[in-house]
Every structure is written in structure tokens, then in C-alpha cells.
């Protein structure tokens, strides 16, 4: 794995992730293709839970040829902000790329969520991965290279199935749903956090 400091340009076309210290400060970058292995360094990511106006949650199944956790059902979408990319832009970008949807009412819900997850082959995820919620009214048009399938589910039923251990979803989704349930104020609605509660490396810059 090759890491660079915050001023070193990445090779053209190489997707990078932001490496972090334990306090959530940026300490460098690394090529996304190289960062996931048995000793994955802590890096910055995000998860988003997208709802419709009826309070249904959009679930997605990871593409079968994904390098990590292929074929696993999980939250609406995940991603990594690029170095120096505003997190809001990253979330909107990823929603369009993976699902072909626009987002509104985007809010941080679990600003300091962190998890580690290992596949059977020993490859690990190790992410500081704030969780966001959003709404959409768009038809879902998933990118088959990223998403194998999607499903709209009533939040309450999904939450109860996850908490009861009868819904097969990713390990990070189980942890996130457990925490989101504690912050629930209505179907698909949660007590939100402030943007300043995000890790230092993810706090958005003021808009002009």
C-alpha cells in the first residue's frame, strides 16, 4: 500500500481514501484498491439510509463481484469521500453513481460511528463511518457494477427483524440499525446530529 501526504497529488484516475488517526484527523491517503487487506488501516467512509415519503427504507445488495462483502444486503449505499471532497458532495455523488437517485433533507444521524468487519478470507473493513439519513422521490436505477438488487421495506418491520436477528444484512448494518433505533422519533425519522460533530477530517467547509 502506498500512502501520500495531504499535499501529494494522486496518480491520474486512481481513487483514494483518507487515512485517519484515532481522533479522526487526516494523516494521509491511500489508493482504495490497495487499502483493504488483513491489516486495513483506519480510514474515512460513510453510510446512508435513504427513505421515501412513506417512511420506507431503500435496501441494496452489494454486487456479486465486489472486492469486499460481495452479495451482502445492507443499507442504501456506502462510500468514501475523496481527499478534499466535501462530504455532502460525496454523498450526492455516490447516490447518483450507485442508485441513480438524488437526495434531499440529508442529515448526519450517527456522526462518530466506527466499525471493524472481517470476511472469511481475513480481509477487513476498518472504518470511521458516520451514518447519514436522506429522502428521495426518485425511481431507483442501480449501477449493476455496484448493486446487485434493491428493495423498499417498511422501516419498522426492517428494524424489528434486524434487532431480532432474523434479517440477513451486513454486520455494520446491524450495528447501525441498533444505534438508529435508539434515536428514532418516527417512521424513518431520527434525532439528528450537528455537522460539527463529524470527525475532523469530514467536517464540511462553509458554502460560499
Q: Which residues are documented as binding site for Mg(2+)?
A: 98
What is the C-alpha radius of gyration for the chain, rounded to an integer number of angstroms? 16
Cβ 59 vs Cβ 150: under 8 Å: yes
Compute the distance between CA of residue 55 and CA of residue 57 in angstroms, rounded to an integer. 7
Whether 78 is a known active-site residue: answer yes
**Annotated binding residues for Mn(2+):** 36, 43, 80, 125, 127
- Selecting among 16, 48, 78, 129, the annotated active-site residue is 78
Residue 127 designated active-site: yes
Q: Read off the C-alpha cell for 110.
A: 450517527
Catalytic pick among 16, 127, 146, 175: 127
CB neighbours (10 Å) of residue 65? 11
- 50 φ, ψ to 5°? -105, 130
Half-sphere exposure of 74 (CA within 13 A, CB side): 23
Catalytic residues: 78, 127
Amino acid at each position: 500500500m502506498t500512502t501520500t501526504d495531504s499535499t501529494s497529488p494522486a496518480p491520474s484516475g486512481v481513487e483514494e481514501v483518507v487515512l485517519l488517526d484515532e481522533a479522526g484527523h487526516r494523516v494521509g491517503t491511500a489508493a482504495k484498491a490497495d487499502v483493504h487487506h488483513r491489516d486495513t488501516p483506519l480510514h474515512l467512509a460513510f453510510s446512508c439510509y435513504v427513505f421515501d415519503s412513506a417512511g420506507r427504507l431503500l435496501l441494496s445488495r452489494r454486487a456479486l463481484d465486489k472486492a469486499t462483502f460481495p452479495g451482502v444486503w445492507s443499507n442504501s449505499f456506502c462510500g468514501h469521500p475523496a481527499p478534499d471532497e466535501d462530504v455532502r458532495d460525496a454523498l450526492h455523488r455516490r447516490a447518483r453513481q450507485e442508485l441513480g437517485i438524488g437526495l434531499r433533507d440529508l442529515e448526519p444521524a450517527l456522526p462518530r460511528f466506527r466499525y471493524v468487519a472481517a470476511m472469511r478470507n481475513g480481509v477487513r473493513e476498518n472504518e470511521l463511518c458516520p451514518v447519514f439519513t436522506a429522502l428521495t422521490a426518485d425511481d431507483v436505477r442501480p449501477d449493476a457494477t455496484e448493486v446487485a438488487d434493491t428493495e423498499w421495506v417498511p422501516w419498522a418491520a426492517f428494524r424489528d427483524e434486524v434487532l431480532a436477528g432474523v434479517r440477513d444484512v451486513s454486520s455494520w448494518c446491524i450495528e447501525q440499525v441498533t444505534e438508529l433505533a435508539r434515536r428514532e422519533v418516527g417512521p424513518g425519522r431520527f434525532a439528528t446530529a450537528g455537522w460539527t460533530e463529524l470527525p475532523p477530517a469530514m467536517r464540511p467547509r462553509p458554502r460560499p
